[in-house]
Structure 1
Amino acid sequence: MTGEAGEIALSKEDLREVTAFAAACAEVVLGVFEDGQPDDARPREAIGAAWQFARGGERGKALRDRAWAALKAAKSADSEAAREAARAAMSAAGAAYLHPLAKATQVKHILGAGAHAARAAELLADDDRGVGGAHVEQAVHRATPVLVDVLTRFPAAPSGGGRVGELIRMLDADLRSLTPTE
């Protein structure tokens, strides 16, 4: 189809690496959700499903269902910080579904969990953007060379998306700066 972005080669191992990164990012703020909703396991189950895929499991209906369940948990959370933590969990499970399309919007599948986690931490700290910046920095240190390689196959993160979009672009720029220039 004319105007469509080209395809990017992605192996199952690439998808596992992206999902492991996303799960590690989301795990950091899981307690933000669970503190207010201790009986709601949906975000924890989404992160668990993401880890299961990252460690060799299959990408199937259960993983997708866990992602959707975490999104529903976000909608019922009692605070904006808890909603962002649940969205981080949803993004972790959704990372396994990164599409091999050369579109900037796909960067959200790679970095969304890290950005939502950073936003959850900011909100928990009375909207302290320095806290979000520190979470972005921690996510950069969590990234593997394979994750950075996968990210750089895609165009830079798109504009928009409010504060979470800003955090995605910060994380994107910081990770891309790790690649050697030729």
Structure 2
Amino acid sequence: MRNKSFVAEHGGGELTLDNHRLLMKWAITCTEHVVEQLNEENLDIRLIQALDIAKDWTKGNVNTGLAMEAARQAHAAARDCDDPVLKSISRSIAQAVSSAHMADHILGASLYALKAIRQSEKSVQEEIEWQNRMLDILPQQLIDLVIETREIKRQGFKVLKE
């Protein structure tokens, strides 16, 4: 069941639009950090466009429908990709932009970014610590919610289990 804290107010939940946008900014930051760390500069154009649309959504410049179409295109890019690391990065981007529709997709962006780090044989723990530091843009109750929920969902990612 979806935690009401991740559901937008207009959908009957507790999440304000401002906090929804902050959550998405954090997801974008997590994704872009992994792209930079792993020197994945040759991203499929669909992924670049999805990130741009996600950023525009956080500014209120595009609607959720456009973000969802960008997410579908990013998922298609992931399906078309043979490289496991780039596939995880693609999924991270797709989840980040999908969070325009449902904010808890930010957790997928975080976890797929961590999966790409693991697949690259880099330190997942260091990346988690970095992601946690980036949470400082959020109110404390959302920081706690993200950390707690990410840890629960992390158990579903075989490659990330401790």
Q: Structures share a fold, TM > 0.5? A: yes
Match in the other structure for 1:82: 86
- Normalising by the residue count of structure 2, what TM-score does the alignment of the two structures yield? 0.76
Q: Is there any run of 5+ residues in structure 2 with no aligned partner, and where? A: 5-11
Alignment of 1:27-176 (within 5 A): 27-30=32-35, 34=40, 38=42, 40-98=44-102, 106=104, 109-125=105-121, 128=122, 131-146=123-138, 148-150=140-142, 152=144, 156-157=148-149, 158=152, 160-163=155-158, 166=161
- Deviation of 1:59 after TM superposition, in Å, equals 3.0
Choose 1 or 2 for highest CA Rg. 1
Change (3 A) 1:54 1:164: farther
Change (3 A) 1:67 1:33: farther
- Deviation of 1:120 after TM superposition, in Å, equals 0.5
Structure that is richer in helix per residue: 2
* % identity of equivalent residues: 20
Question: What is the identity, as a one-letter code, of the residue corresponding to 1:123?
Answer: Q
- Normalising by the residue count of structure 1, what TM-score does the alignment of the two structures yield? 0.69
Q: What SS class does the counterpart of residue 55 from structure 2 fall into?
A: helix
**Where has structure 1 moved over 4 Å in runs of 4 or more?**
3-7, 31-35, 151-156, 164-167
- Deviation of 1:30 after TM superposition, in Å, equals 3.0
Q: CA RMSD in A?
A: 3.0
After TM superposition, the structure 1 stretch with the greater mean CA deviation from structure 2, 150-159 or 64-73, is 150-159
CA contact (8 A) 2:132 2:147 kept: no
**Cα separation, 2, equivalents of 1:23 and 1:4:** 21
